[in-house]
Amino acid sequence: MNSQKFHVVIDGCINATISRLHIIAPSTSPNTDGIDVGSSTNVLINNCTMETGDDCIAIKGGTSNITISEIACGPGHGISVGSLGQGGKRDEVEGISVSNCTFNRTQNGVRIKTWQGGSGFARNINFSYINFTEADNPVIIDQFYCPHQICTNKTSAVEVSNVTFTGLRGTSICTNSTVSLQCSDTVPCTNIVLADVDITSADPQNPTSAVCLNAYGIAQDTYNPTVDCLIDTK
């Protein structure tokens, strides 16, 4: 409760299990991530409740084979892969599964965030059976992550590929894009799949929408919003 920074950090670990935690911090408290995982492999996180001022869970570089399930997140900034590639760093993340999680009035939902100028990869990532309640920014891939809004354009990027979003349900208060896939000109996102997506607007006057930039993949049965902006590789 009320950690001054991250509540739990898993770093340099193999075969770790975290379950039945209840993490609490004010929604306005900066950098109070629930659980951060870095440089680790074969980690299971399940059946936890997280109310924080930042990411409920953040997956950092050097991490593989992470299974996250049955997480109740909110308030907070959602579950994130990243940020990756800050300061030109090479980061590698693969084999991430996030399933059967709920997001209640979170600032973001499921997110991949990378800085310009980095390198490496974020690949083989699956978000499935996610439920949102009045979440802002439910689905994000952002290869232009820049929280301070003063960043130099750079051509290198962490490569994002083989990412699946399936079985996404609920409501959103997002006034911009319910699904936002913003990828690099030089290192675009590839093999992105959205399937069985139905996220309605909590405000009937503000319809849901999707926006894509340099994102290659397919969308199937995306009812709300209609995701027709992916570049088909066929």
- pLDDT tens digits, residue range 193-234? 999 999 999 998 899 999 999 999 999 999 999 999 999 875
Measured distance CA(78)–CA(99) in Å, rounded: 13
Selection from 76, 214, 202, 92 nearest residue 144 by Cα: 214
Please check whether residue 160 is in contact with residue 119, taking contact to mean a CB–CB distance below 8 angstroms.
Answer: no
- Whole-angstrom Cα distance, residue 200 to residue 145? 26
* Rounded CA separation 68/198 (Å): 22
Structure-derived torsion over alpha carbons of residues 82, 131, 222, 94, reported in degrees to the nearest 10: 30
Contact 71, 44 (CB under 8 A): no
Per-residue pLDDT of the chain (234 residues; tens, 9 = 90+): 999 999 999 999 999 999 999 999 999 999 999 999 999 999 999 999 999 999 999 999 999 999 999 999 999 999 999 999 999 999 999 999 999 999 999 999 999 999 999 999 999 999 999 999 999 999 999 999 999 878 889 999 999 999 999 999 999 999 889 999 999 999 999 999 999 999 999 998 899 999 999 999 999 999 999 999 999 875
Active centre residues (catalytic)? 77
